[in-house]
């Protein structure tokens, strides 16, 4: 928060890009209480109107991400990489709602070794958070998913929603799953 206040001062040259690394180890040793609040991000973007933020999160719990992601962050790129924890569908949904104007890159990687299969972000709901992300985030040009279940029909929906604007759609073959009805039809 203090860094955001200093950078928001009009005496500083406006920022264009800010890259933030959030790691579970740093969160264990430092409280999230010093993270910038929404008013800090608003002040920073008033002085730096073209600011775009890139967040890389390593093994950050979904509850912690929900505390970090403030509505006024001009988030352009986000990269989740997990070895212990998994990102929740709620976090993906929040990102698609709050950052629909700026988000261009969304990378989701999970290396958690779990014999019961990959986590499913849709949580057996009718709406898949990745499809909603593709629908809401009209500037999305890169979507990479590794180690999470992506249903084949949702993958097709994502490709259709973004069309040729989606320059990179990268999904690990093992992540793609089919409904039993789809398998019977093929």
pLDDT at 180: 64
Asked if 128 contacts 151 with a C-beta cutoff of 8 angstroms, the reply is: yes
DSSP state of 83: S
Tokens of 55: 């967040």
Question: Quick one: which of 56, 80, 64 has its CA closest to 31?
Answer: 64
pLDDT at 5: 87
Mean pLDDT of 139-153: 94
| Percent of the chain surpassing pLDDT 90 | 54
pLDDT at 29: 67
Mean pLDDT of the chain: 88
- pLDDT higher than 80, residue 181: no
d(CA 134, CA 130): 6
Q: Which domains does the chain have, with CATH numbers?
A: 14-185 (3.80.10.10)
Q: Residue 131 — pLDDT band, cuts 50, 70, 90?
A: very high
H-run or E-run covering 86 = none
């Amino acid at each position: 928060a203090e860094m955001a206040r200093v950078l928001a001062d009009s005496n500083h040259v406006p920022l264009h890009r800010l890259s933030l690394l959030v790691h579970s180890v740093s969160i264990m040793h430092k409280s999230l209480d010093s993270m910038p609040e929404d008013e800090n991000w608003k002040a920073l973007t008033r002085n730096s109107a073209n600011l775009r933020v890139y967040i890389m999160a390593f093994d950050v719990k979904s509850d912690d991400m929900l505390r970090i992601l403030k509505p006024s962050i001009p988030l352009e790129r986000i990269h989740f990489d997990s070895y212990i924890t998994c990102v929740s569908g709620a976090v993906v949904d929040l990102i698609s709602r709050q950052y629909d104007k700026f988000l261009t890159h969304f990378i989701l990687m999970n290396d958690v070794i779990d014999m019961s299969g990959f986590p499913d972000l849709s949580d057996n709901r009718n709406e898949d958070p990745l499809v909603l992300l593709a629908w809401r985030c009209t500037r999305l040009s890169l979507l990479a998913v590794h180690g999470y279940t992506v249903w084949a029909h949702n993958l097709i929906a994502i490709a259709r929603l973004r069309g040729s604007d989606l320059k990179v759609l990268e999904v690990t073959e093992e992540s793609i799953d089919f409904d039993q009805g789809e398998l019977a039809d093929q």
